[in-house]
Amino acid sequence: MSFPASAHGMLDAMEVPSHSRQLLLQLNTQRTKGFLCDVIIVVQNALFRAHKNILAASSAYLKSLVVHDNLLNLDHEMVSPGIFRLILDFIYTGRLAECEPGGEQSLGAVLAAASYLQIPGLVALCKKKLKRSGKYCHLRGGYAPYKLGRGLRAATPVIQACYSGTPRPVDLPPVEPAAPLNTQCGELYASAAQGAPLHPHGLCPPERHCSPPCGLDLSKKSPTGPSAQLLPTDRLLPGEPREPSLPPRHDSPPVSAGLLAGHPAAYKDSPPGGEPGGHPHAPDPFRSTPPCTEPPLPRADGRELMYRWMKHEPLGPYLDEGEAEKELEREEKAESPPAAPQPRYPSVESNDLEPDNSTSEETGSSEGPSPGDALDRYCNHLGYEPESLGDNLYVCIPCGKGFPSSEQLNAHVESHNEEELYHKAAAEQAVPFLDKGGPGLGDILRPYRCSSCDKSYKDPATLRQHEKTHWLTRPYPCTICGKKFTQRGTMTRHMRSHLGLKPFACDACGMRFTRQYRLTEHMRIHSGEKPYECQVCGGKFAQQRNLISHMKMHAAGPDGKAKLDFPDSVYAMARLTADQLGLKQEKAAELLSHTSHFLSDPKAMESLYPLAKFTAEHLGLSQDKAAEVLAQAPHLHAEAARTIERYSPP
């Protein structure tokens, strides 16, 4: 399909002046309703819903996070819930609600947070406002080190210096806008107070100016059903929100390390380009780069973008702070007509960043970027992600692996050392095995043994992970309810259940799940597949766990007590099997008791593999796994042989 040249010309001229404004309004409306929101931002005990695309188009820092996570946890020492609300409003509207009273302090906090989040337009706007109020000259020296991309740990004292005698911005009470804010009810507070009546739709009552009385009842189970993807509204209980200035509820760090991955604080000691503990593939927002003075992105073609990426120059739709400031100044000079009044959304100034400006949009960009251009630049998307390119310049000499930063290389080298230590320790441990008649195959396969419980593992990392189960204090607390976990993954999974995040959807019925495995299990309902069969009655089950429950029914007598009378040898085997497989002895015995047909066939015991096959079949393991398990327990073979001897037909 092709258009005549004239038609192309016509298309070029066909521009709806209010398009960008309408688009933004729609997006903001969607945000307030939670519609298509695909990310949750946790700031202290406040939750905000938003759209990844919008965040990524507005903030370099948030972009680096949303690429990898649906749940972002911001350091509340860097940005308080109240300030983040203002910033989120700005992102979705291009307007900054009036900060008051003590506006400069709040504005300073917004500036600090905008720097932290790398939103140059907002940084420039705050500076401009501070300048107008006569504060910025005073502050300039203080804010100057606030170069974009600095970790705020370094920046915070600067702010303190700026506002000597006043609380740090992070200690300020939440900013309550003078006029009702328009939106903001995408935010949900995990309040300590509960029990008050529900508020419909989970939105803040208008009379509260959307200050966040919405509590999150964490005592309830996660919702079920297709409607509950994000914080279901029926779980929201109003209650007074905790003041953002209050200390965190738990003694533990308020934001988990895992959720903070990629946080600037984690980079504070890193050289440019290092991403320790963060998102290794995320564009490094802290790489020192000269301010981008390139023409607006739409004019840059793919090759130029690639070239700039290769040169570590800024590519994206983000304006450098200085550039954004110039943008604002150009805007002021443009003398664009004032924005239409929006009573629900007090404008900071008549020439605030304006998402739509019909005059300049119509005149095109040849006479300098218009506010519309500015928005275009913010909304422009790259055709590729930098993470697709790798430059692993730091190479580990022993193993030849490459890493993008010295930090990662160092971490790798440390792991080398630990690994070698473990190997050494394992080699030393092997000596007693020899004393006992030589190490079993299992000792070779799983040389890393726990000193507390004698369980053994294939690799040192798994052993370390296991050893945490013996610790008195579990190292990973939930930042919402305080429950503690031995593994970070378990904690983040638990957090998902708090937040109702269910990324795995059934194509057939739309039901959503928190885990892939659950979806797989669920899909058997639709397929009719019932792979788990009872060896006693032939009953089939879609879920293994239901087979296990069912087997208990078989095992229980009329009085509820176990009715199966297992031979001693079966119990002995069961004990060993239970030990090896981590099952309860009762269950292992139960499973083994259903194998009389096997046990009565001595030929089947002639080699290890048939036994493995039997074990695999009856314990739901892969045959290889079963073989490995059995290999670790040569005494099991002897026991099995004795059992066979005893029960073999004469």
Partner DNA sequence: CTGGGGAAGGGGCCC
Partner DNA sequence: AGGGCCCCTTCCCCA
Structure-block tokens of residue 87: 């910033």
DSSP annotation of 560 reads S
Query: Shortest Cβ distance from residue 444 to DNA (Å)?
Result: 14
DSSP letters, 117-186, are HT-HHHHHHHHHHHHHTT-HHHHHHHHTT--TT--HHHHHHHHHHHTTTS--GGGSPPP--SSPPS--TT
Please identify, using beta-carbon distances, which residue of 528 and 650 lies nearer to DNA.
Answer: 528
Please identify, using beta-carbon distances, which residue of 360 and 492 lies nearer to DNA.
Answer: 492
* 69 near DNA, rule: CB under 7 A: yes
Q: How many Å apart are CA 330 and CA 295, to the nearest integer?
A: 14
Q: How many Å apart are CA 250 and CA 272, to the nearest integer?
A: 33
Site string for DNA, 579-618 (x = CB under 7 A): ---xxx--x-------------------------------
Do 558 and 579 meet the contact criterion of CB atoms below 8 Å apart?
Answer: no
Site string for DNA, 85-124 (x = CB under 7 A): ----------------------------------------
One-letter amino acid identity for 224? T
Q: Please report how many Cα atoms fall inside a 13 Å half-sphere around the Cα of residue 265, on the Cβ side.
A: 16
Do 604 and 611 meet the contact criterion of CB atoms below 8 Å apart?
Answer: yes
Site string for DNA, 269-308 (x = CB under 7 A): --------x-------------------------------
Query: Shortest Cβ distance from residue 126 to DNA (Å)?
Result: 33
Please identify, using beta-carbon distances, which residue of 306 and 548 lies nearer to DNA.
Answer: 548
DSSP letters, 4-32, are -HHHHHHHHH---TTHHHHHHHHHHHHHH
Among 458, 597, 642, 646, interactor with DNA by CB under 7 A? 458
Among 620, 634, 637, 647, interactor with DNA by CB under 7 A? 620
Query: Shortest Cβ distance from residue 138 to DNA (Å)?
Result: 42
DSSP annotation of 485 reads E
Query: Shortest Cβ distance from residue 551 to DNA (Å)?
Result: 9
One-letter amino acid identity for 424? K
* 318 near DNA, rule: CB under 7 A: no
* 131 near DNA, rule: CB under 7 A: no
Query: Shortest Cβ distance from residue 482 to DNA (Å)?
Result: 11
Query: Shortest Cβ distance from residue 468 to DNA (Å)?
Result: 8
Judged by CB under 7 A, which stretch of 127-135, 187-195, 358-366, 534-542 contacts DNA? 534-542
Q: How many Å apart are CA 398 and CA 393, to the nearest integer?
A: 15
Please identify, using beta-carbon distances, which residue of 76 and 522 lies nearer to DNA.
Answer: 522
One-letter amino acid identity for 444? I
Q: How many Å apart are CA 579 and CA 594, to the nearest integer?
A: 19
Do 418 and 604 meet the contact criterion of CB atoms below 8 Å apart?
Answer: no
Strands 484-485, 476-477: pairing is antiparallel
One-letter amino acid identity for 43? V
User: Which element (helix H / strand E) includes 449?
Assistant: strand 448-449
Please identify, using beta-carbon distances, which residue of 376 and 628 lies nearer to DNA.
Answer: 628
DSSP annotation of 397 reads T
* 132 near DNA, rule: CB under 7 A: no
Query: Shortest Cβ distance from residue 77 to DNA (Å)?
Result: 20
Q: How many Å apart are CA 404 and CA 13, to the nearest integer?
A: 46
Residues 538-577 that bind DNA (CB under 7 A): 539, 541-546, 548-550, 553
Among 621, 623, 634, 637, interactor with DNA by CB under 7 A? 621
Among 190, 262, 466, 580, interactor with DNA by CB under 7 A? 466
Please give the distance of CA 58 from its chain centroid, rounded to a whole number.
19
Do 567 and 646 meet the contact criterion of CB atoms below 8 Å apart?
Answer: yes
* 515 near DNA, rule: CB under 7 A: yes
Structure-block tokens of residue 155: 């920046």
By residue count, the chain amounts to 650
* 490 near DNA, rule: CB under 7 A: yes
Among 245, 406, 465, 596, interactor with DNA by CB under 7 A? 465
Among 497, 535, 585, 623, interactor with DNA by CB under 7 A? 497
Q: How many Å apart are CA 285 and CA 273, to the nearest integer?
A: 9
Site string for DNA, 12-51 (x = CB under 7 A): ----------------------------------------
Query: Shortest Cβ distance from residue 528 to DNA (Å)?
Result: 9
Q: How many Å apart are CA 636 and CA 632, to the nearest integer?
A: 9
* 429 near DNA, rule: CB under 7 A: no
Closest to 60 in 3D by CA, of 302, 321, 299: 321
Q: How many Å apart are CA 632 and CA 634, to the nearest integer?
A: 6
Among 87, 261, 499, 570, interactor with DNA by CB under 7 A? 261
* 166 near DNA, rule: CB under 7 A: no
* 535 near DNA, rule: CB under 7 A: no
Query: Shortest Cβ distance from residue 319 to DNA (Å)?
Result: 30
For residue 602, CA distances in Å to 589, 616, 626, 642 come to: 19, 18, 19, 10
Among 489, 510, 531, 602, interactor with DNA by CB under 7 A? 489
* 258 near DNA, rule: CB under 7 A: yes
* 493 near DNA, rule: CB under 7 A: yes
Report how many residues bind DNA under the rule CB under 7 A. Answer: 59
Q: How many Å apart are CA 341 and CA 523, to the nearest integer?
A: 53
* 222 near DNA, rule: CB under 7 A: yes
Please identify, using beta-carbon distances, which residue of 166 and 546 lies nearer to DNA.
Answer: 546
* 488 near DNA, rule: CB under 7 A: yes
Q: How many Å apart are CA 496 and CA 144, to the nearest integer?
A: 39
Q: Rule CB under 7 A: which residues touch DNA?
A: 68-69, 221-222, 224, 257-258, 261, 277, 446, 455, 457-458, 461-462, 465-466, 469, 483, 485-490, 492-494, 497, 511, 513-518, 520-522, 524-525, 539, 541-546, 548-550, 553, 582-584, 587, 619-621
